[in-house]
Structure formats: C-alpha cells, structure tokens
Amino acid sequence: MPHVEVLQRARGRLRAALNHPSFSSSSLGQKRMRFIVIAAVVLSFILFSFHSHRSESSVGRYRIQAPFRPESQTAESVRLQRRTAVKSAFQHAWTGYKQKAWLHDELLPVSGGYKDPFVGWAATLVDSLDTLWIMGFKDEFDGALEAIEQINFSKPNAERVPAFEVTIRYLGGLLGAWDISGHRVETGKIASENGVVLAQIGSLSLEFIRLSQVTGDAKYADAIQKITDQLAQTQNNCKGERLSFSSRDFTLGAFADSLYEYLPKTHLILPSFSSAAQQYLEMYRIALPSFSKHLFFRPSLPGEPDILYSGNANANSGSARLDTQIQHLSCFVGGMVGLGAKISNSPTELETAINLTNGCVWAYENTPSGIMPEIFHVEQCADLSSCTWKGQGDGFTRVDDRSYQLRPEAIESVFVMYRRTGDPSWQEKGWRMFEAIEKHSRTDIAHARLDDVMDPTPGKTDSMESFWLAETLKYFYLLFSEPDLVSLDEYVLNTEAHPFRRGA
C-alpha cells in the first residue's frame, strides 16, 4: 500500500541520518523523515530515538466494557444518523485545516489564518491521524502520512520544545496511529525544555511504556520508572529524595489532571504480573480516598440533583480547605474513577463516577447556550445525604471563565460511562452536548472557541486547538459507534485520546 512504501523510504532516510558524521545531540542534521516521535524527559533524563513494530495484543485481564444488548432497528438508525453528523463535523473542520493551515499546528477558524504554538510540526495533522483512521477516512490518512514527510522534526521551529504537549500530541499521536493501523516507523530524537509542572512529570508513563512495549527496549520504561518511584515517595508528604513540592494546593484540574488520569490507565497497559502495574494501582488507591474526602463534593443546586463535582483544596494552614471551583478540565475525573471502579470491582466507586460525570452534564444543560463554561463556582451542600436548595438563581455562584475552548473532558467521561454501563441514556446526554457545541461553534471554515457560554448566542474566538479533532469529535464519534470500535477491553486512550493497545 502507498503508506507502507512511504514508511520504508523513511526508514532508509533515517538510517542514513543516524550514520551521518555530523549527527549529535545538538545537531541532528536536516534529513527528511517520515514520523518523528518526541519523547520528552524530566529530572535530567534525555530523550530517546526508537523504531517500532507491530505488537499483537489480546484482551487484557480486565474487561472494562459492559455487555451490550442487541439494539432495535430504530435505535440503530438514530445512532448511525448521529454518528454521521459527528463525522460530518469532523470533515468540515479537517477540510478547513487542509485548505487554510496545512502543515501548521493550528487553524484560525474565523479569519482563516494559522498559528504554530507547538513548534510548528503540524500538530493538528499528527493529532488527527488516528481519528482519520477510526472514522474511515483512509485516503485522507494516507495523504496525511505523505505530508508528514515534508516536516523536519529534527529542527523545532521555536526556541523551546514543550515536553508535555509534544509528548501527548506528537508521540501519543504517532503511537496511536501506529497501534490503530498497524504501521511501522523509525524515528529520531530531539531536545526538550527544562522545568516542568506536575502533569508533565506524571504524563509520560503511557507513552514511554508503550514505546518500550512496541520496540522491546526497556530503557524508555526504565526512565519513567525512576520518575514514578520519586512520585510515589512524595505521595503522602510531598517530599522525596530528588523531588519535592512547595505548594500545598491540590486539584484534579489544570497542571495536575493527567498525572492522576494516568495511574489507572498505566496499570491497565502493563502486564498483570509486573510490579510496576501494581505500583500504579497502589498509587491510585492511595489517592482516591483523599480525592473523595477533600476534593469531591455535592453541590447545592436548583432541583437538588444527586451529583458530584471535583473542586480544589488548599492545605497551607495544615488542614485541607475546599475551594468549590469547577474546571472543565477536571471533567475527565468521572471517566477515571469509572475505570478504577472496574479494576477494583467496586459498585460504590462506579456510583461516584456516575455522579461526577452527571455533574458535568448538569453544567452543560443548565447554561443558556447548553455548553459548560471553562471555570465556575457553586455552593457546597452541608450534608451529602440531604441537600435542600435554599438559594436563588441558576446555581452558578460565580462564572470565572465564561469561555468554551472546544474541550473534550466532559464527553470523554460520558463516553467512558456509556462503555462501562451500556446505558443508552449516556448517548442521549452526549447528543444534546454535541448539538449545542456544533450549533454555536461552527464557522464557514471549521469550528471556533466560544467566548461566553452564559449568553444564548455566544460569540466566537479565532482559535481551534488540535484536540477538537483528536479528542472531542473522536469521543462523540465513538459514543455513537459500535462498542467494539476502539474497545476499552483492548485499548487505553492517552490524555489526548490516542488509542494504545493494552498489555495482555
């Protein structure tokens, strides 16, 4: 096939580049290459070069998905119509990107311009590869592979290479495309920035471990293991031998989210007999009771819904004090707890996951636009079991950030809950979310960030991040697809929704 020939040519180019006398850590040459996977490192570790080969995988030790009953012809017809609508939205945005911003990181969906916040290696293109394959755009997928040959990944078009974003979008995107389509690829290496936040430190495990699994080279997983050991030491007192944290602010939102997301997911991708798999599970089981005690809370809202949110906590004074700030970023938590509930076989944890996910659904369904704002505050119920609404208004005590940034976290958890429970009501909730987002965000070119979802007709901002195509629309599409398409029994999705095959 065409893409196989392209990849074979890329292997030859890379071998020549690696054997070139001028090849060094500071100058990797200007050789054109097919895929470049950037493996970011922290704590003085260097980045690695690798080649990949296909790994055969069977269903892992945990069956995550519920048994699904046969659907009626009417239900199937509705589901497929909705899936077609999602696919059409993706095609609209992808076409706009191809026409206006090809080989750039991001399309500006209002003006038709482009920008390159992620070193100019065509982030939207690489991030969208596995979505193209999953949605059946095989010709577009092959064309995207051809286009990647034009990118010189050995030379970032910026002074800094952001470790976190490059790892989840480029490395994750390329591994996900390899896993979902069976492609083989050889790669180069590149330097990364110094100085990281918590999410960067903890959000390398899936990508590096999967890299070791597909190459048979343990050095990538070994490097991550050193980081994980340090994080485990700091879990209870924030101080380890080589890693410590000065802040006593805790959140499952920005700057920490994917670290915790990756604890159960990394456990799932590792072999059951490994000590590393048990370490990630133990870290998650240590963290979850603290989440439940200090971050999860029932809000006081009109109609007194039985839902939960994940807020923030500050422990600088010694005891944790809850801040009832809700971030759209933290809406992944329902899905995370849902996966953990299956691992632990805990109905109580599953109920928590359902309530957390319904909290984000409530935030979508109770704004004038039908879309959840980026950041807001609500009041906490004094009593979890009996919460009487005595306030006024819509329940939002303060909306700190009224924007919607085309984010995927809420639909991610809705998707996971659907696959976990088999309950079709999650599809109905997801459809209402999609209709509102598509209605308000669509432009003549693609889809745009919204500036004020508390307005019935929010204005548009000239921004469309690559995760709109990589994550948000992928989760909507999978919600209305057959359960065996990217089955959670066979795949773990990284924080950018790139599917990695699970370990046996």
Q: Which residues are catalytic?
A: 165, 257, 374, 409
The annotation status of 495 as a binding-site residue, yes or no, is yes
Please list the residues that pair with 322 across neighbouring strands.
313
DSSP result, 252-316: SSTTTHHHHHHHHHHHHHS-TT-HHHHHHHHHHHHHHHHIIIIIEE-EE-TT-----EE-EEE-T
Which one, of 2, 41, 25, lies nearest residue 220 by Cα? Answer: 41
Q: Left (φ > 0), alpha (ψ -120 to 50) or beta: where does 112 sit? A: left
Q: Strand, coil or helix: what is 36?
A: coil
Q: Please give the single-letter amino acid code of residue 75.
A: A
Contact between residue 337 and residue 353 where contact means Cβ atoms under 8 Å apart: yes
CA-to-CA separations, 299 to 218, 388, 417, in angstroms, rounded: 46, 10, 21
Task: Give the count of beta carbons closer than 10 Å to the beta carbon of residue 407.
Answer: 24
Angle formed by the axes of helices 425-441 and 73-101, nearest 10°: 30
Structure-block tokens of residue 281: 């599970």
Q: CA–CA separation, 218 vs 1, rounded Å? A: 31
Q: CA–CA separation, 409 vs 360, rounded Å? A: 9
Query: What residue numbers does the annotated binding site for Ca(2+) cover?
Result: 495
Query: What residue numbers does the annotated binding site cover?
Result: 495
